[in-house]
Copies of this chain bind each other. A is one copy, B any other.
Amino acid sequence: MRPAIVLLSGGLDSATVLAIARAEGFECHALSVDYGQRHRAELDAAARVAASLGAASHRTVVLDLRLFGGSALTDLSIEVPTSPSKGIPVTYVPARNTIFLSLALALAEVTRADDIFAGMNAIDFSGYPDCRPQYIEAFERMANLATKRAVEGSPLAIHTPIIQCGKAEIIRRGRTLGVDFAMTVSCYQADAQGRACGRCDSCRLRREGFAATGIPDPTGYQP
């Protein structure tokens, strides 16, 4: 089996991406990042999801982005919004996807993987600059100049199989591939048990997605 790196947050989207990579026959090395996020229950979810979907390995890198702040997800003094906002949301973490893809790139080099899978989505997160296809293409181009493969290896491909999918489509696809969504945590401010707030952007998108599919929403909500 060909090895691939899969960025795994523990949320619904990246769980589906892991299932897609597995269905395509890759030996999946899952990578999560403990970046000081509010929703730390996501990291426990990532471990459960990696095991249940047959990842060959799962690593969690510790990188405390709270040193930088600048986002509602890493700075407790910035509130998580509970209604949709215009422009770039305050939940955007500066350069997060670039940092995560860079870490995946390092792991790809060490494990001799030529493929990285990531769950960016240009529909739900239209306000996040680092979820757009032209950004992914530019990262891939840079990555192919950055590492040993530029000199002596084969090219690297970054797969973002759900980048153009709506939430309902992602849920249908994940379900077909055996993702247990009850295991996943997407809420920006889940509690320690992983129960969702039901009010943040991420909860709203998830709830609307399940409603649109007719599949029962297995999310555990805070009382």
Q: With A109-B70, A151-B88 as given contacts, are A146 and B97 in contact (CB-CB < 8 Å)? A: yes
Q: Kindly state the separation between the CA atoms of A65 and B67 in the bound complex, as whole angstroms.
A: 18
B129 with A151: CB separation less than 8 A: yes
Contact residue among B62, B110, B138, B150 (Cβ-Cβ distance under 8 Å from A69): B110
- Asked if A107 is at the interface of the complex by the 8 Å CB criterion, the answer is yes
Q: Is the CB of A106 within 8 A of B110?
A: no
Residues of B within 8 A of A143 (CB): 98
Chain B residues closer than 8 Å to A95, beta-carbon distance: 102-103, 105-106, 109, 146-147
In angstroms, how far is the closest chain B Cβ from the Cβ of A110? 4
Using an 8 Å CB-CB cutoff, how does the interface string of A110-148 with B read, 1 for contact, 0 for none?
100000000000000000011010110011011101111
The answer to whether A152 touches B64 (Cβ under 8 A) is no
- A48: Cβ under 8 A from any B Cβ: no
33-58 of chain A: CB within 8 A of chain B: none
Contacts of A130 in B (CB 8 A): 145-147
Asked if residues B145 and A135 are in contact (CB atoms below 8 Å), the reply is yes
Which of A62, A64, A98, A151 is most buried by chain B, counting CB atoms within 10 A of its CB? A98
A40 CB to nearest B CB, Å? 17
Question: Is the CB–CB distance between A129 and B106 below 8 Å?
Answer: no
Instruction: Decide if A61 is an interface residue (CB 8 Å cutoff).
Output: yes
Please determine whether A129 and B146 come into contact, CB atoms closer than 8 angstroms.
yes
A88–B151 Cα gap in the complex (Å)? 9
Q: List 26 A-B contacts (CB under 8 A).
A: A59-B67, A62-B63, A62-B64, A63-B63, A68-B106, A68-B107, A70-B110, A87-B152, A88-B151, A88-B152, A92-B148, A94-B107, A94-B147, A94-B148, A95-B109, A95-B146, A98-B105, A98-B147, A129-B151, A130-B145, A130-B146, A130-B147, A132-B145, A135-B145, A138-B146, A141-B141
